[in-house]
Chain A
């Protein structure tokens, strides 16, 4: 790569930003400003910091992140659309010594896969779910998702989502927190430096509760899809701040490490 020379460190220099080794050194297929790249990096950093890279199995889903196994150098299984929590249940029950996580979009998890995630959470499967909520079906061209905001225009609600016609956007972190087997459920956002730092802590916690055998770990990441929102990446971040966060409040909705554990 052409930049190599500039990366040579002088005697008194050191890297101030470590890129995790488990994050494969290759350009992604994501659009400019897509937050899947940030979400991948946070997962990579957490797995490395926990020292579990060689003992992790990723269950990929269907959506723009379908190729996550090209970017994270961990063993992976590709699940049919929405079924990642069911596949992960089988993987974890078969290999209880492994750290197992799914990585799912809002179309995958909150529409076609709603039953799978609810029951896996309710059963308290010792798995972690990284849920990327970008309020659309990104991969297929920006159709309405259960998380699409009221008034948001998509290809399947061109006049804007309407409460009476399509219902209110679904708040997954809160719903998951209400289920019995859940050890941790939180919502974070990838729109700013401060929120990305907080998001990393939430991702870590969602993996920690699995490692400690406490129950189901869930982290929702509010993310930008500039392409299907028909705006540039900078405006997309403004939209997250001004429109998404007020409806999808950030925070921890359940954390059994702060109280009692799950059976």
Chain B
């Protein structure tokens, strides 16, 4: 199991992360942060598809994404 955490106050809604997710699970939410940016998210029901590949975090210019992997998933080399 892998999951991603979006730091809403760091996100600027540029949507670059949505273009690189191999699972296509990142979307623009309907939430605005305090700076007025409409932030990105992975809807709760789609999170199970996250592979923990970290492509989204790598392309995010604002370091707004954290990627968390379970050790088991990592050892198995997939998920």
B contact set with A: CB distance below 8 Å: 2, 5-10, 12-16, 18-20, 35, 37, 52, 54-55, 57-63, 65-72, 74
Contacts and interface: CB of A to CB of B under 8 A. Distances in A.
Interface in A1-56: 1-3, 6-7, 9-10, 12-17, 19, 23, 27-28, 30-38, 41
Contact of A193 (B2, B15, B20, B62): B20
A13 B20 CA distance: 23
B37 A32 contact: yes
The interface residues of chain B, by DSSP majority, are classed as mixed
A201 B30 CA distance: 37
Contacts of B65: 17
A197 interface: yes
Contact of A14 (B5, B9, B74): B74
Given A14-B68, A16-B2, 6 more contacts: A7-B5, A13-B68, A32-B13, A38-B59, A193-B20, A233-B15
A17 B70 contact: no
Contacts of B35: 27
B19 to A, nearest CB: 6
A33 B61 contact: yes
A162 B57 CA distance: 38
A196 interface: yes
A84 B14 CA distance: 31
21 contacts: A1-B9, A2-B9, A3-B6, A3-B7, A10-B70, A12-B71, A14-B70, A14-B71, A16-B2, A17-B57, A17-B65, A19-B66, A27-B62, A30-B61, A33-B14, A37-B60, A38-B61, A192-B20, A193-B20, A196-B58, A237-B16
Contact of A17 (B9, B14, B18, B66): B66
A226 B9 CA distance: 21
A234 interface: yes
Interface in A187-235: 192-193, 196-197, 226, 232-234
A230 B4 CA distance: 31
Contacts of A197: 58
A37 B62 CA distance: 6
